[in-house]
Chains A and B, each alone.
Chain A
């Protein structure tokens, strides 16, 4: 009995620790004052000023735009890459996969400054394009790593069988290989999309020209102190994530039945 109580108490504490800051933000996003220390009455002003904040809205647009382009490009390149790697000699495949894991292992800050160095050396203006290239770069490895296992799980000699029956390599890829690895491609695309949406460090070093994503906007606002609009933004983002997760959870449960 005591054991059970301790377990519950501990769970309560940890969840409290995880959710308290979010709850504080949510509560004070409705506070009729800039203060996060004292409750001064209910208001929706901060939500209004959030939606009329040009900087935040533009950053949101860039975040989604970059995530969409980067995840699509990374998924296409990464899928074909996995296909090519799968049929490569094993030592070659291993060597390339080692390079593939560099952006995963390397601290984001090193990836960020190294890409920035490259862009500057090539005389490319930092901005939307460089940010997209950077995002594609750190997304591709995850796509490769989620598609490659699906190819390995495929029954043997699928490609050969299709070619043998008269399919050109492209037709065989479309009709035989692609349907088999589709789950891996979807997983890879989702990972790429979320990584891109969430990225701060690499974007921070590879963008410029007034192009910023949501993370950069939050960072630069937060450095200048507490902004109640951010509280409102946090609350909305938390709710979005929560709803998405609930839907996802429901769906997997239905599939299990």
Chain B
């Protein structure tokens, strides 16, 4: 038996003939923390809603533990969702909200009470049973929404931008808590977000989507270090992306110079794009650098300085823990593994 708990095959979703998700294939492994990442309107939420059963794919098939669930209604799926705006039932207190799914499964009151209190403990809100939804802060409501979904012991938990409405500090805390919960409970999480940092810190695997298509699937490190195209590189972190030509294997030309690199197999004299991470560029004395430029601006970003360096007609973004004054002449230093080659889009 395969350990792929959810699998999508050639899935397309159209609204009034306009495709929102275009022929995508994906799978989620058991106990995996999978994140679907992309800008708004990229089709990530639609994909999640199809897994939950709120939308039916226009074409394609969806499998859950090997069984076709393409047309199974949401209430017949062992999948639960944490909604972006929590979707807690306002006329029920916290206890009744969490007990909702248990009551449908006709558990007796004693079992319900014990499960609810265990869940409240898990989300650190013990003793909140009788409180009304309106008396809770956004962060607390989010925890109740998570408890309500988890109490049904789903095999897969779907989370639709669950931290989007929280402030930065709370978001960081919740990221760690969610990750811990997922490890402890051993439940598969499918997480949708537009925040690349969130995706990188929490996920085992990331699917990057844009315009309804999958751009790249891989582990956070793969995606960060080896973006497959300029969109991914740009979306995953601020990068320097340049037009270039692959002269032959291991030799690339950009910025009017030839550089040795570690990539091969693009074909001789092929136009490509080059991605260089801002933190990979080292600033050295002008005469030591491969390229020469002038520092145009310096901004302190908390842990590092972000500097813009003007070189010929290009501007390079450089992250460094040491600072150069504006107006300083500097040299830019690159090693072969700092240079990432991508085939051109389209």
Contact = CB atoms under 8 A, between A and B. Distances in A.
Nearest to A171: B104
Contact of A168 (B75, B81, B85): B75
B54 A160 contact: yes
B74 A156 contact: no
A41 interface: no
B250 to A, nearest CB: 52
A180 to B, nearest CB: 6
Contact of A167 (B83, B85, B104): B104
Contact of B91 (A156, A164, A165, A180): A180
A158 to B, nearest CB: 6
Nearest to B73: A163
Contacts of B73: 163
Contacts of A164: 52-54, 74-75, 79-81, 149
Contacts of B104: 165-167, 171
Interface residues of A, number: 18
Contacts of B13: none
B87 interface: yes
B91 A161 contact: no
A33 B148 CA distance: 75
Interface in B98-115: 100-101, 104-105
A155 interface: yes
B179 to A, nearest CB: 22
A165 B83 contact: no
A164 B75 CA distance: 5
B254 interface: no
A165 B101 contact: yes
Given A160-B83, A180-B91, 7 more contacts: A155-B90, A157-B84, A157-B87, A164-B75, A165-B80, A165-B104, A180-B90
Interface of B: 52-54, 73-75, 79-81, 83-91, 100-101, 104-105, 148-149, 152
13 contacts: A155-B87, A156-B85, A160-B74, A160-B83, A161-B81, A161-B89, A164-B74, A164-B80, A165-B80, A165-B148, A167-B75, A167-B101, A171-B104
